[in-house]
């Protein structure tokens, strides 16, 4: 027997029945939400040129992309992210559109994970991009839709936490250190590695920004976080970022979302393209981030189009898993009727199948030669009725 | 709400963590008298319960990363080797040792042009270390006693965990350089940190006070 014939590649899997229903349900709930808020669907290719995701500085880590080559030897990748392709299509195909444009997508993305880590390499994401709009109103729309995406899927307790890239950048900009150290500090804050962060900061000259950065990983929670931070920092850029977050937060609270919204000043996204407000969503029972998004005002410049933008993506697989655990999905309908043709009545039986299906009944055409086999099959499949078609129709209830 | 679940690295770190729990006033009798069970209840002074899971070091990371355990106690050696995405919030101070580069006495590891071979149980730690040095070395993964590799002539040096250095001594090896210090760390799942902030923060700060 050939090897590897009966397995799927690591990090991928088949979806069967309820799993498909749950995925389609989550997808349709989200698509519907996005459409009703004025977003139009776009689909981008499953494979893209490598350059899209690595122009000078890598936007997506090169080692986490699935790569192949085209017929001209150029490097291709399996779509690792939908925001960059959508930025490209906006800057090219939609350059004359009236801005802002509201786009949504629901498609797979691919990431190569460490071997046998149990993470999915293929992930179904649904998300939106609001391109050509800057400012608080656009950010507010994004955040409220992020919260709504999780609420509407009914997956139990959830949180969306908000941060601001400018906050970290202005603080670290005040430090007189090289980029390597900045990178280290960034990672340590992101990992909430209090101990190691302290170690790195101890080697720097004491100053207000150093003291503040030391606190940064702990600065997450409700409004009190903003107050603490305000008192601790003094430069105008940081204050501006705090004020911006505070306004957003108040408006989200006024929308009744205070239970689901948190601030995390120590949040720094891995994706390098974010420039302003960033956010993430978490749901009960899932260890992963299920929403990831933020503002990316400089990204479209790469494609020659200077448009501010913001957006987010939802990990639909995590939602689906949770919906199945909570049994928030209707089980698949069993076939209700099996139509069996007695010898010579195949055409009549087929007409009957068509009629019943047209009435909205689920019915199967029996491919068995004998009625006995059909009845045995019906019993095993929990089919409730067998219609035996000849000149008349005899109905067997099981 | 489900009880909080903490994964402990079996063995020495488990003992040290339980000692810490005792200082924190937790009732660890069920864990001490565990028999063959792997999930055990621990009572907090306020009457609430959380669950202790006993696992191998690398599995502690896996369980926490996937969110099936909220917290974990694991050595920095394992974190450095396996990585992963989680919050590393406390240096617990126990389980102290270090990674070191060691070579046979009276040899100069850094001398000459030939590519050196290094044996280690920790290939990722080793390649990161030499990568930072900009030094191209061949790394061979060894599962058991790494000291054997240079003795048998397989490698020029080893990278391993060193506590007292006596094993190295007895096998004619000398520490050339320290690679990194190691101690036990408290790690937290990212989503749990957000969804159960209060509970986790109070537990972490209680742990910090007693560690």
Segments making up each domain of chain B, as ranges: 5-95+183-210, 97-180
Distance to chain A for B152, nearest Cα, Å: 31
Cβ distance A286 to B192 less than 8 Å, yes or no, reads no
Parse chain A into domains and list their residue ranges: 18-325, 337-397
Low-confidence ranges of chain A (pLDDT < 70): 1, 55-58, 269-272, 331-335
Cβ distance A262 to B197 less than 8 Å, yes or no, reads yes
Region B112-133 average pLDDT: 92
Cβ distance B90 to A195 less than 8 Å, yes or no, reads yes
How would you label B88-118 residue by residue, b for 16+ Cβ within 10 Å and e otherwise?
bbbbbebbebbbbbbbbeeeebeeeeeebbb
Nearest by CB: B191 against A117, A118, A288: A288
Helices (H) and strands (E) in chain A, counts: 12, 18
Q: Which residues from chain A sit within 8 angstroms of residue B85, using beta carbons?
A: 191
Nearest by CB: A262 against B65, B185, B194: B194
Cβ distance A264 to B65 less than 8 Å, yes or no, reads no
Q: Would you say residue B97 has pLDDT above 70?
A: yes
pLDDT of residue A58: 65
CB A294 within 8 A of CB A274: yes
Please give the helix or strand (H or E) that residue A127 lies within, else none.
strand A122-131
CB A321 within 8 A of CB A329: no
Measured between CA atoms, the residue of chain B closest to residue A158 is B195
Answer yes or no: same fold for A18-325 and A337-397. Answer: no
Q: Is A221 on the interface with B (CB under 8 A)?
A: yes
Measured between CA atoms, the residue of chain A closest to residue B66 is A287
Give the residue carrying structure tokens 């940190």. Answer: B193
Kindly list the distances between the CA atom of residue A11 and the CA atoms of A7, A115, B53, in Å, as whole numbers in the listed order.
11, 9, 26
Q: Would you say residue B87 has pLDDT above 70?
A: yes
Nearest by CB: A287 against B65, B89, B90: B65
CATH number of B97-180: 3.40.190.10
Q: Is A289 on the interface with B (CB under 8 A)?
A: yes
Kindly list the distances between the CA atom of residue B38 and the CA atoms of A28, B29, B31, B192, in Å, as whole numbers in the listed order.
41, 14, 9, 22
**Which candidate in A118, A156, A157, A191 is best for mutational testing of the B interface (most B CBs within 10 A)?**
A191
pLDDT of residue A240: 87
Residues 6+ apart with CB under 8 A from A138: A100, A130, A308, A310
Answer yes or no: same fold for B5-95+183-210 and B97-180. Answer: yes
ipTM score above 0.85: no
DSSP state of A217: G
Q: How confident is the model at residue B15 (pLDDT cuts 50, 70, 90)?
A: very high
Please work out, in degrees rounded to the nearest 5, the angle formed at the alpha carbon of residue B121 by the alpha carbons of B129 and B12: 105
Q: Which residues from chain B sit within 8 angstroms of residue A282, using beta carbons?
A: 190-191, 194-195
Region B49-78 average pLDDT: 94
**Which candidate in A162, A189, A195, A196 is best for mutational testing of the B interface (most B CBs within 10 A)?**
A195
Superfamily of domain B5-95+183-210: Periplasmic binding protein-like II (3.40.190.10)
Distance (Å, whole) CA B12 – CA B103? 27
Q: Which residues from chain A sit within 8 angstroms of residue B62, using beta carbons?
A: 117-118
Region B51-78 average pLDDT: 94
Distance (Å, whole) CA A216 – CA A209? 10
CB B69 within 8 A of CB B53: yes
pLDDT of residue B85: 84
Region B200-204 average pLDDT: 89
* Secondary structure class of A129 (helix, strand, coil): strand
* Secondary structure class of A318 (helix, strand, coil): helix
Measured between CA atoms, the residue of chain B closest to residue A222 is B197
Question: Which pair of structure tokens corresponds to residue B175?
Answer: 């520490």
CB A269 within 8 A of CB A299: no
Distance (Å, whole) CA A391 – CA B121? 78
Q: Which residues from chain A sit within 8 angstroms of residue B65, using beta carbons?
A: 117, 287
pLDDT of residue A318: 93
Nearest by CB: A284 against B86, B87, B195: B195
Q: Which residues from chain A sit within 8 angstroms of residue B204, using beta carbons?
A: none
**Which candidate in B191, B193, B196, B199 is best for mutational testing of the A interface (most A CBs within 10 A)?**
B191
Q: Would you say residue B138 has pLDDT above 90?
A: yes
pLDDT of residue A184: 84
pLDDT of residue A270: 61
pLDDT of residue A333: 65
Roughly what angle, to the nearest 10 degrees, separates helices A208-215 and A223-232?
160
Roughly what angle, to the nearest 10 degrees, separates helices A194-202 and A179-190?
150
Domain A18-325: give its CATH architecture: 2-Layer Sandwich (3.30)
Nearest by CB: B66 against A118, A191, A192: A118
Question: Which pair of structure tokens corresponds to residue B21?
Answer: 């729990």
CB-hemisphere CA count at 13 Å for B142? 21
Q: Is A193 on the interface with B (CB under 8 A)?
A: yes
* Secondary structure class of B203 (helix, strand, coil): helix
Please work out, in degrees rounded to the nearest 5, the angle formed at the alpha carbon of residue B36 by the alpha carbons of B32 and B37: 75
Nearest by CB: B194 against A114, A159, A285: A159
Distance (Å, whole) CA A196 – CA A184? 10
Q: Would you say residue B211 has pLDDT above 90?
A: no
Determine if the peptide bond prior to A159 is cis (ω within 30°). no
Superfamily of domain A337-397: Anticodon-binding domain (3.40.50.800)
Cβ distance A195 to B185 less than 8 Å, yes or no, reads yes
């Amino acid at each position: 027997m050939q090897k590897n014939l009966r397995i799927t590649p690591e990090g991928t899997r088949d979806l069967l029945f309820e799993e498909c229903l749950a995925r389609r349900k989550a997808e349709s709930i989200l698509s519907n939400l996005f459409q009703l808020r004025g977003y139009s669907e776009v689909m981008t290719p499953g494979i893209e040129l490598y350059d899209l995701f690595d122009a000078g500085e890598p936007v997506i880590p090169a080692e986490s992309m699935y790569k192949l080559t085209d017929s001209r030897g150029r490097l291709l990748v399996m779509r690792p992210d939908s925001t960059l392709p959508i930025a490209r299509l906006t800057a090219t195909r939609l350059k004359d559109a009236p801005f802002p444009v509201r786009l949504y997508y629901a498609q797979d993305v691919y990431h190569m994970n460490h071997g046998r880590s149990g993470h999915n390499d293929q992930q179904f994401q649904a998300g939106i991009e609001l391109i050509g709009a800057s400012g608080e109103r656009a950010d507010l729309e994004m955040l409220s839709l992020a919260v709504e995406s999780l609420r509407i899927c009914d997956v139990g307790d959830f949180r969306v936490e908000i941060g601001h890239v400018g906050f970290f950048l202005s603080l670290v900009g005040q430090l007189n250190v090289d980029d390597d150290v900045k990178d280290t500090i960034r990672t340590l804050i992101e990992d909430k590695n209090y101990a190691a962060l302290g170690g790195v900061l101890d080697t720097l000259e004491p100053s207000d920004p150093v003291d503040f950065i030391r606190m940064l990983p702990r600065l997450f929670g409700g409004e009190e976080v903003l107050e603490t931070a305000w008192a601790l920092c003094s430069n105008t850029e940081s204050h501006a970022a705090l004020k911006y977050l505070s306004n957003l937060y108040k408006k989200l609270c006024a929308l009744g979302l205070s239970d689901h919204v948190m601030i995390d000043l120590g949040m720094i996204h891995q994706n390098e393209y974010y420039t302003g407000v960033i956010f993430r969503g978490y749901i009960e029972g899932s260890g992963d981030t299920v929403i990831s998004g933020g503002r990316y005002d400089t990204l479209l410049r790469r494609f020659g189009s200077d448009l501010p933008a913001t957006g987010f993506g939802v990990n639909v697989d995590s939602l689906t898993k949770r919906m199945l655990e909570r049994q928030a999905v209707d089980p698949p309908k069993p076939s209700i009727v099996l139509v069996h043709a007695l010898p010579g009545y195949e055409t009549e039986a087929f007409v009957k199948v068509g009629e019943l299906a047209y009435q909205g009944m689920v019915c199967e055409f029996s491919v068995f030669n004998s009625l006995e086999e059909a009845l045995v099959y019906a019993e095993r499949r929990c089919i409730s009725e067998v219609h035996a078609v000849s000149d008349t129709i005899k109905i067997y209830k099981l | 709400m489900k009880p909080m679940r903490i994964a402990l690295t079996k063995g020495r770190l488990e003992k040290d963590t339980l000692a810490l729990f005792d200082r924190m006033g937790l009732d660890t009798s069920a864990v001490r008298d565990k028999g063959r069970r792997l999930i055990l209840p621990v009572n907090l002074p306020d009457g609430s319960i959380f669950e202790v899971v006993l696992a191998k070091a690398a599995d502690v990371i896996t369980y926490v990363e996937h969110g099936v355990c909220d917290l974990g106690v694991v050595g920095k050696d394992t974190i450095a080797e396996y990585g992963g995405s989680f919050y590393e919030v406390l240096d617990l101070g126990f389980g102290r040792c270090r990674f070191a580069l060691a070579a046979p006495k009276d040899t100069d590891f850094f001398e000459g042009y030939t590519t050196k071979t290094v044996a280690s149980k920790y290939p990722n730690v080793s390649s990161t270390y030499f990568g930072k040095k900009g030094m191209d070395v061949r790394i061979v993964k060894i599962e058991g006693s790494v000291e054997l590799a240079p003795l048998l002539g397989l490698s020029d040096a080893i990278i391993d965990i060193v506590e007292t250095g006596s094993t190295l001594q007895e096998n004619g090896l000398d520490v050339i350089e320290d690679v990194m210090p190691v101690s036990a760390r408290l790690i937290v799942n990212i989503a749990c940190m957000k969804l159960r902030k209060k509970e986790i923060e109070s537990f972490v700060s209680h742990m910090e006070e007693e560690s």
